[in-house]
Amino acid sequence: MCTYQTTTLGMEGSGKGADGWFPVTDATVYFDHPVHARAEHTLNIDLINPSRGAGARVAMELDPLSARALAEAILQTLETVPPGLIAAAPG
């Protein structure tokens, strides 16, 4: 079942698409039917830069267990970074 819950947020980073690297300015996260993945429902993450058009997009469709594992790995990795290396979030 699709939740229709979509989370969007601004971010700062880079993504690599078909035309090479581009600045990532936005992310969209939602749970829905995948387009390509072999699962009935997936957590979908789109990293985009709307000002650069449709080609400036990195899309992921993750089965729920993989999505949780990735989220946990990200948090665990960030916990090991010395405090001085993590800058304050852009304001």
Residue pLDDT, tens place only, 38-76:
888 899 999 999 999 989 999 999 999 999 999 999 999
pLDDT band at 1 (very low <50, low <70, confident <90, very high): low
Q: So what's the pLDDT on residue 88?
A: 61
pLDDT band at 84 (very low <50, low <70, confident <90, very high): confident
Q: Examine the pLDDT at 30 and tell me if it is beyond 80.
A: yes
- CA-based nearest residue to 16, from 56, 69, 70: 56
Question: What is the C-alpha separation between 30 and 82, in angstroms, rounded?
Answer: 31
- CA-based nearest residue to 53, from 18, 11, 13: 18
For the chain, the average pLDDT equals 90
Between 88 and 82, the higher pLDDT residue: 82
